[in-house]
Structure 1
Amino acid sequence: MDVQQNVSQVERVEENGGAMRAVKDCVAGSVGGIAQVLAGQPFDTVKVRLQTQPDIYKGTMDAVRKTVQNDGFGGFYKGTTTPLVGVGLCVSVQFLVVEQMKRYFGRLNNTPSNQAPMLTPTQLYISGAAAGVANSVISGPVEHVRVRLQVQTSGAAAQYKGPIDCIRKIYRSFGTAGIYKGQVPTIIRELNGFGMYFLAYEALVQRKMAETGKARSEISSVLVCLYGAAAGFAMWLTSYPIDVVKSKMQTDGFAGSSQKYSGSIDCIRKTFEKEGLRGFFRGISPCLLRAAPANAATFIGFEMAIRALD
């Protein structure tokens, strides 16, 4: 009886510890997500405008100049409310799933419970890919609303007054399918993008831990920022063309003459016919400029929050 009671107590402790770990992962992920939005939103606005309005903007600096001219500096933060809430939730889901996957593979590798799991590149990629697919359920609608707000100009011509008005109008006319417009390229981007994202970051962290014998919490903030920036580059350099397709699909009309593309394949075909291969890389400059500060902010926010919560 005493043995059974002790086993039950151990199981309860593990369950409670797992639940608390998950809560910490979510909270720390939210901190990282908010930091990411605040650091990266201006770059993202320019990127989306270049991706979806090639006839209006000649290049990055032209997009910056015209955005300031038409909307003021506040134009760079158009549509920020949605990602500030949504990306915080998205990043919390990403880190929750990736940390759970890392622990799963750690147990599969027979890693002692008191040691950080050292995973293979394949395991790290799968962990990130799983996080990306889980994240896409939220990121699809969040980014759909954000890009529609980012590409519209201010004033009487604006179709949507804000994120809530945008969601309401789309849902009222096109239902859930309208909210999830562009979801197929979103899932593809998230799967590969976050597979590469977390592979790059975690591989760098693991290598540093192996070289120095230091715990994860002892890695300097400077290195966390550098590794986060590298993760951002790994994600976007391998996923940018599908992000272009996603943005074009999400800013396309819903029906009739306003709809340019019948689907993702049609979007790829028409983009290539009109713009060539270059069309799949429009806006990559602000995207890569954003990758360093936004993702450095994400990981330093997450790591600092985890250290504070532990």
Structure 2
Amino acid sequence: MSQQGEPQNNDGAMRAVKDCVAGSAGGIMQVLVGQPFDTVKVRMQTQPDLYKGTMDAVRKTIQNDGFGGFYKGTTTPLVGVGLCVSIQFLVMEHMKRTFGRINGTPANQAPVLTPSQLYMAGAAAGLANSVVSGPVEHIRVRLQVQSSGAAAEYKGPIDCIKKIYKGFGWSGIYRGHVATLIREFHGYGMYFLAYEALVQRTMASTGKARSELSTALVCLYGTAAGFAMWTTSYPIDAIKSKLQTDGFAGEKRKYYGALDCARKIMRQEGLKGFFRGITPCLLRAAPANGATFVGFEIAMRYLG
């Protein structure tokens, strides 16, 4: 990937490799920083009767599972999120270059895209990402909410995948995928729109190249991107989490699709049910997404 404000003269295949490697660095940073917040968020979304609030969820997680409870299911996202973020940045950078050609941007200049183009580029990245993020998040949330010790239904991510696939095939692995697609499309549209728009504005006003932006600014803009994503897509994420932790059949199954889930949340919990767990989610948005973009941008600077 060539930095904005610098010539785009790298070979296409090598540029894609660099985008993937840098995206993996960002993904690993995101998981290590954000996993404890995500565990609390998922538990509050899917087990509303167990927790009175964020701090109650934190206390009970420590009490029942120790500090290791915050990192339940981390193996899956470390591998999966690294791949997901690689896909996100690979597709995003490709779409930026594509829109640049549509806009008639000279080959030796980085494209400056309109807000709608940035949104669609991010949405495309989200859709591509959903192929991996759907099953990765499904396995992660099931591991996050299960009991510890002998009462645990799954021994780990591989055991979880095997049991779900044996019982329900690919449809079981991709449980809640319609909700995932909607969240990824709009969420990442807003995510990359916020980040790239802030970067473009700063570069235009200061005359600096992308590689010259300070780490503090990158972190700040990554935080803004996280807030833009989650404040606009959280309700569909709540639906996704409930579908992905629901029983598969019989009396254990509560929901029969995203619309049925939405209706039952509204009837049983009201509007607040769509926003349960948003506090740890937004607390996570700052460090996790700041770390994601810092990891990506720093990796790209070293990769050249």
TM-score category of the 2 structures, normalised to the smaller one: over 0.9
How far has the Cα of 1:114 moved from its partner?
2.1
Does 1:275 find its partner at 2:291? no
How far has the Cα of 1:255 moved from its partner?
0.4
- One-letter code aligned to 2:133: S
Q: Distance in 1 between matches of 2:9 and 2:228?
A: 35
Does 1:25 find its partner at 2:19? yes
Does 1:296 find its partner at 2:284? no
Larger Rg: 1 or 2?
1
The unaligned stretches of length 5 or more in structure 1 are 1-13
The alignment partner of 2:150 has SS state of: coil
- Structure 2 match to 1:113: 107
Task: Name which of 249, 253, 262 aligns with 1:259.
Answer: 253
Coordinate RMSD, CA, aligned: 1.0
The alignment partner of 1:115 has SS state of: coil
What TM-score, normalized by structure 2, do the two folds share? 0.97
Does 1:231 find its partner at 2:205? no
How far has the Cα of 1:66 moved from its partner?
0.3
- Structure 1 match to 2:121: 127
What TM-score, normalized by structure 1, do the two folds share? 0.95
Higher deviation after alignment, 108-117 or 35-44: 108-117
Task: Name which of 60, 63, 81 aligns with 1:66.
Answer: 60
Does 1:208 find its partner at 2:210? no
Does 1:188 find its partner at 2:198? no
Task: Name which of 239, 247, 261 aligns with 1:245.
Answer: 239
Does 1:34 find its partner at 2:28? yes
The alignment partner of 2:11 has SS state of: helix
How far has the Cα of 1:16 moved from its partner?
7.3
- Structure 2 match to 1:5: none
The unaligned stretches of length 5 or more in structure 2 are 1-7
Write the deviation string for residues 124-171 of structure 1: whole angstroms up to 9, x where unpaired: 000000000000000000000000000012111100000000000000
The aligned runs of 1:124-203 (5 Å cut-off) are 124-203=118-197
How far has the Cα of 1:78 moved from its partner?
0.2
- Structure 2 match to 1:10: none
How far has the Cα of 1:110 moved from its partner?
1.4
Q: Distance in 1 between matches of 2:239 and 2:147?
A: 22
Task: Name which of 29, 43, 47 aligns with 1:49.
Answer: 43
Contact 2:9 2:108 survives alignment (8 Å)? no
- Structure 2 match to 1:9: none
Q: Distance in 1 between matches of 2:9 and 2:75?
A: 35
Q: Distance in 2 between matches of 1:50 and 1:20?
A: 43
- Structure 1 match to 2:3: none
How far has the Cα of 1:15 moved from its partner?
10
- One-letter code aligned to 1:161: K
Q: Distance in 2 between matches of 1:116 and 1:282?
A: 41
Give the share of equivalent positions with the same residue, in percent. Answer: 78
- One-letter code aligned to 1:266: D
